[in-house]
Structure 1
């Protein structure tokens, strides 16, 4: 064997060793990719019922929201009617009612003032003269 053949034999052995060392990570990477493929397949199979359930839930929520919209519209109509009714009440009865309340307050104040004046007059006999006020 010549020196060139020995060098070629050593280079071939080194190449085989390099291929064996690189084959181990490539095999592990292949297994990892196989497991990832299986996981993705299972996830894809499980998402169909999940998406179907989510679609049913969204449909149910939309139905409930339509009911809430109807209730809100009715409540708005009721509040408008109450506002109109209070305006009518204020316009028809509010003015006279306020005037009546003011009149009754004034009368009660006048009656109390007159009673207080009579009580003061009856308490002081000698010092006050009729027709003289302070």
Structure 2
């Protein structure tokens, strides 16, 4: 054997050793990718019931929101009716009631003033006050 053939044989051996050393991580990487593929398939299979349940839940929530919209519309109508009733009451009875209250207050004050004019002022005792 010539020195060139020995060098070629050593280079071939080093190349085989390099291929073996690189094959081990590639095999492990292949196994990891296989496990990741299996995990993705399982997640996909398990996500269908989850999405179905979420869709059902969203449908129920939408139904409840429609009901709440109806309730708020009714509440808005009731507050409008109460406001109209209040303004009607104020317009029809508020003015006369204020006038009647003012009249009764004035009459009462006049009667007290008339009764008080004929009597002498009384002195009040201040018990407990200093």
Deviations 1:41-73 (A, max 9, x none): 000001111111111111111111111111111
- Whether 1:36 aligns to 2:36 is yes
Aligned length: 123
Measured in 2, the distance between the counterparts of 1:122 and 1:81 equals: 55
Deviations 1:59-88 (A, max 9, x none): 111111111111111111111111111111
1:120 aligned counterpart, secondary structure = coil
Measured in 2, the distance between the counterparts of 1:54 and 1:13 equals: 61
Match of 1:13 in 2: 13
Match of 1:99 in 2: 99
Match of 1:54 in 2: 54
**TM-score, normalising length from structure 1?**
0.83
Deviations 1:96-127 (A, max 9, x none): 0111112222333334444444443588xxxx
What does 1:55-70 align with in structure 2 at a 5 Å threshold?
A: 55-70=55-70
Per the TM alignment, residue 31 of structure 1 is displaced from its structure 2 partner at its CA by: 0.8
Measured in 1, the distance between the counterparts of 2:47 and 2:20 equals: 41
Match of 1:129 in 2: none
Measured in 1, the distance between the counterparts of 2:115 and 2:5 equals: 142
- Whether 1:90 aligns to 2:78 is no
**TM-score, normalising length from structure 2?**
0.85
Q: Note the aligned Cα RMSD (angstroms).
A: 1.8
